[in-house]
Amino acid sequence: AQSVSQHNHHVILSEAASLELGCNYSYGGTVNLFWYVQYPGQHLQLLLKYFSGDPLVKGIKGFEAEFIKSKFSFNLRKPSVQWSDTAEYFCALLTGGYNKLIFGAGTRLAVHP
């Protein structure tokens, strides 16, 4: 079955702390993975995406994610978070002939100044 799981539902950090949000997937086809972010009161926005090639993907605002095929993982990282990173983060898998996103349940990140 196709699925995406995110391990942490709520994460609280202080500014300048390092961030790692877990994402694992289950899928037998070609793997295309995304991280989306939803800031308070705003719509979903793409942070970064992996289609092929270098498994370390860099996105906007200093975020990066590493695709580890052997672990079925695509964890999101940022070395030093800011208060403005407070948001909900969703990992997603592209399936169905590249027309359907399967999302994880999301991780709410709160960054305290």
Partner 1 sequence: GAGVSQTPSNKVTEKGKYVELRCDPISGHTALYWYRQSLGQGPEFLIYFQGTGAADDSGLPNDRFFAVRPEGSVSTLKIQRTERGDSAVYLCASSSYGEVISYNEQFFGPGTRLTVL
Instruction: Tell me the window of 11-19, 62-70, 73-81, 97-105 that interacts with partner 1 (CB under 8 A).
Output: 97-105
Q: Tell me: does residue 99 bind partner 1 (CB under 8 A).
A: yes
Q: Tell me: does residue 100 bind partner 1 (CB under 8 A).
A: yes
Q: Which of 36, 16, 21, 20 is nearest to 81 (CA)?
A: 16
Q: Residue 35 or residue 81: which is nearer to partner 1 going by CB?
A: 35
Q: Which of 6, 86, 8 is nearest to 40 (CA)?
A: 86
> Measured from the CB of residue 71, what is the shortest distance to partner 1 in angstroms?
21
Which residues neighbour 1 within 8 Å (Cβ) at sequence distance 6 or greater?
Answer: 26
Residues from 26 through 85 that contact partner 1 (CB under 8 A) = 32, 36, 42-46, 49, 51
Amino acid letter, 4? V
Q: Residue 16 or residue 60: which is nearer to partner 1 going by CB?
A: 60
Amino acid letter, 75? N
